[in-house]
Structure formats: C-alpha cells, structure tokens
Amino acid sequence: MEGNFLRLQSTASLLTFFVTRNRLQLYGSGNLSRVVTLDVPQTIEKDLEIVDYPGFISMLDLWCTNLKLGASDAVIIFSEDVYFVKEALENDSEDKAMNEANTFIQSVPFEHSAVKRFSIGSAKQLVAANERYMTVLIDGLRTHDITVLGVVPVFVLEGQGAKRVLDPDMAKYVSSHLDTLKPMSIVPPERPRETPSKEVEVFAKKNQRFVVFLGVFVVLIIVLAILLLLR
C-alpha cells in the first residue's frame, strides 16, 4: 500500500480514473501530473464484486482526502479485465435488441449489471459492467465534489485501447475527446459542475445582507410595539 496515500494538492479540472481488478489509478494535472494508485485488498473487492461496502467507501474516502481531491470533473475508464464483451447481432427492432441485452445480462456473474451497445466502425458490441460497483464509486467521489461525466470501456479510446495501466497519454486522450466519450458512458453521465459567475455571487451576497437587515428591522418593530403596549 506504500505510495497510495500521498498528500498532494489537486488543481486538476478533469480527473481520469482507471479501474482494473483490485486497483484504482488516477491522473490529473498540476500537482497530480503523475499516476497515483490505490490497491484494493481482496477482503474488500473479490472477483469484480465489492464484498465490504463500508470498507470500500472508507478506503476511497481516505484516498481522496489525502490527495486533497475536490471540485473536479472526472471520467472513469474500465480496463478490459473488469467488463464483459459480446459481439452484437444486427437487430432490426428495439425488442430484439432488448432481448439480446437481457440474455447477455444473464450470462455475466454480476448481481447487478449495466449493459450498453457500442458501434465502433463496422463492429457492434455489447458491454456488461458491474452496475453496483459503478454506483458506489460515483457516489463516493461525489462526496468530494467530484462529478463523473462518464464511465467508458477502454476499447473506445482509439490507440489507447490495448493498455492495461493508466498513463499520461491516455489521460490526455480522454481530456481532448471528452465530448465524444460522454455519450458512450455505460451509465448516464452526471451534469458538469457549474461555477457561479461573479454576478451571481455578488447577487447572492446582496441577498444575504438584505435578509439580515430585514431581520433586524422586524426585531426593532417588535421591540417598539412592546414598549408602546407597556406605556
């Protein structure tokens, strides 16, 4: 586990997470301009399933805290050893496509699966991933103000699909192809974080002051009314 919990200040606007069996890797920019790794023991994750949810959340929370992550957007890349792929048929109806996806779901070992159909060139593939794992990971990152814009299999990254570890080139590809990758997300992407404009911030501050002044004014009226009644 040495080297997993490094105290770094993240200035990244986009974080790239790479998920492999029992391992999370992260690359950002600025002070996170190198890959950092979190190894997950089999007592927490085994055979692509989380077996200790509190332990996983606690480990993820400590990792993010020590890396000082927050207020960032992120993309999660799944390596080829954490999802299942099936060649998709040429279905001429939505019902047939749905039946094919449901049959595929029954064949994978996950208790809860998410399936997405991909068309890369002439190839059509179905990908099944662990939906529960994705949900827990996304929710855990959200507690650190990290918004996940998409979860995609590594094979959709042109020229990067054969890689089994995260490197800066893969992260740069994700950053430069973000608009293309978001629609490929296996799960619905979260909305990007919105940074309030200065005008909005000033308006909010003025609103707060108005509420304070109004409260003081109401209190003064009540005190004056009590004094008049006591005369």
Q: What is the pLDDT of residues 181-218, one digit of tens each?
A: 999 999 887 766 554 444 434 434 445 555 566 666 66
- With beta carbons less than 8 A apart as the criterion, state whether 60 and 140 touch: yes
pLDDT tens string 121-180:
777 899 999 999 999 999 999 999 999 999 999 999 988 888 889 999 999 999 999 999
**pTM recorded for the entire structure:** 0.76
Picking from 59, 106, 55, the residue whose alpha carbon sits closest to that of residue 84 is 106
Residue 216's pLDDT is: 65
Q: What CA–CA distance (Å, rounded) separates 140 from 61?
A: 7
* The token pair that represents 97 in the structure block: 């496509």
pLDDT cut 90: percent of the chain above it: 56
Q: Which residue has the higher pLDDT, 29 or 152?
A: 152
| Residue 137 DSSP SS3 | helix
The candidate with the shortest Cα–Cα distance to 72, out of 131, 32, 25, is: 32
6-10, 22-26, 73-77, 116-120: segment of lowest average pLDDT:
6-10
DSSP 150: E
pLDDT at 197: 43
Q: Which residues of 170-197 are buried (b: 16+ CB within 10 A; e: fewer)?
A: bbebbbebeeebeebbbbebbeeeeeee
What stretches of the chain adopt beta strand conformation (E)? Answer: 14-20, 23-27, 36-39, 45-46, 49-50, 72-78, 83-87, 113-120, 123-130, 146-153
Instruction: Tell me the longest C-alpha to C-alpha distance in the chain.
Output: 91
What span, in angstroms and rounded, lies between the C-alpha atoms of 62 and 81?
A: 25
- Residue range 94-112, pLDDT digits in tens: 888 889 989 999 999 998 9
